[in-house]
Amino acid sequence: MDKIKVTQELADQLKTTLMDVQQPIAKRFRALFTLRNLGGSLCIDAMTEALKDDSALLRHEIAYCLGQMTDNRALDVLIELVKNTTEHPMVRHEAAEALGAIADPRAFDILKEFSADETKEVAETCQLAVSRVDWYTKNEPESIDNKTYLSVDPAPALGSGVSFGAVKDQFLDGDLDIFNRYRALFSLRDIGDEKSVLALCDGFKDKSALLKHEVAFVLGQLQHRAALPALTEVLLDESESAMVRHEAAEALGAIASTETIPLLERLTKDKEAIVSESCEIALDVTDYFNNTEEFQYADGIKLLSEKSNPQISN
Ligand SMILES: [Fe+2]
Ligand SMILES: [Fe+2]
């Protein structure tokens, strides 16, 4: 597919939908994914302006998308989000992760500074991003040809030759630093069989909300039905962090099992806005995977790769 030329008019049109609070959140997300997939400074500007929105879910998704674009023109806005301690922790987390994804050494000092942030998920994300930036200054990026999932991951998978048992142990080792646990997490995702899916589900017993939210995210990428019971349990657990429940909802949307629809519909009334809005997105994604005619997600997929799914946030 030829790359679409982004005009000011097109960027403005997408921005209008993105910022229109009268529109369903799922439609606004579709506009966001289109901006992400198109890329370039006009799209970055439109996305930056939409960071004024009241929805923390939308703002965190914008930060995620800015990271996935790996365009260092988004560096300043992402740094401001990390520094803004009045911003929602999930948004700051995503901005820090995005800085790790862009891997520009100019963000290194900020990431180091906020590695001691009092909000645990922000601190852990900054530690992770520091390790990622450091890793990619010393190692070549993986070839895109070898990747099944086109997301820019917060940590590289472990090299081949590590046994399944060793990967699982590394993933579940709560004494290990977050970067090395994430490396094992992405190895399990890349193995991708039922045994790996169930090992990933074991991660939901962990103390780190950050690790658990990433587990839910990769389970969404894997779209494996063996994860349905664990994801459902996490989504239903009101004592769980909203960030984790949000990813569980969207992962259920990506698995797109019709039997999950009543649960997602019910939780569009959840008292936590991040969760209720995520269920709306999840229903939209479920609908997309069951009827693939819709323009925005389909367009995004073709622009990224036939192998990719809509890649809702992590
Ligand atoms: Fe997310
Ligand atoms: Fe995240």
Distance 314 CA to ligand 2 centre (A): 4
Ligand that comes closest to the CA of residue 98: 2
Nearest to 222 by CA among 148, 279, 281: 148
Q: What are the residue boundaries of the structural domains of the chain, listed by start?
A: 1-142, 189-292
The pair of structure tokens assigned to 263 is: 């649960």
Distance 90 CA to ligand 2 centre (A): 7
1-142 and 189-292, same CATH topology = yes
Here the tokens at position 246 are 């949000």
pLDDT digit string (tens) for the chain, length 314 residues:
456 789 999 999 999 999 999 999 999 999 999 999 999 999 999 999 999 999 999 999 999 999 999 999 999 999 999 999 999 999 999 999 999 999 999 999 999 999 999 999 999 999 999 999 999 889 887 776 677 888 999 999 998 889 999 999 999 999 999 999 999 999 999 999 999 999 999 999 999 999 999 999 999 999 999 999 999 999 999 999 999 999 999 999 999 999 999 999 999 999 999 999 999 999 999 998 888 654 444 333 333 333 334 455 55
| CA of 121 relative to ligand 2 center, distance in Å | 9
- Specify the pLDDT at position 150: 84
Binding residues: 60-61, 93-94, 213-214, 246-247
Distance CA 249, CA 220 (A): 9
Closest listed ligand to the CA of 128: 2
Give, as residue ranges, everything with CB less than 5 Å from ion ligand 2: 314
Mark the binding-site residues for Fe cation, compressed into ranges.
Answer: 60-61, 93-94, 213-214, 246-247
Tell me if 100 sits within 8 A of 133, measured CB to CB.
yes
Ligand nearest to the CA of 61: 1
Under CATH, to which class is 1-142 assigned? mainly alpha
Q: Tell me, in angstroms, the distance from the centre of ligand 1 to residue 161's CA.
A: 31
DSSP code string of 113-182: HGGG-SSHHHHHHHHHHHHHHHHHHHSPPPPGGG-SS-S--SSPPPPTT--HHHHHHHHH-TTS-HHHHH
Rounded to an integer, what distance in angstroms lies between the CA atom of residue 213 and that of residue 203?
A: 10
pLDDT at 230: 98
- Taking the CA of 250 as reference, the closest ligand is 1
Cα(292) to centroid(ligand 1), Å? 23
The alpha carbon of 85 and the centre of ligand 1 are apart by a number of angstroms equal to: 19
CA distances from 286 to 35, 103, 148, 262 (A): 21, 33, 21, 12
Distance 98 CA to ligand 2 centre (A): 9
248 C-alpha to ligand 1 centroid (Å): 9
Ligand in nearest proximity to the CA of 94: 2
The pLDDT assigned to 147 comes to 78
| Number of the ligand closest to the Cα of 100 | 2
The alpha carbon of 264 and the centre of ligand 1 are apart by a number of angstroms equal to 16
The domain defined by 189-292 carries CATH number 3.40.50.970: no
Mark out the alpha helices in 70-119 (DSSP H runs).
75-83, 89-102, 108-113
CA of 259 to the centre of ligand 1 (A): 23
Maximum Cα interatomic distance, the chain, rounded to a whole number of Å: 53
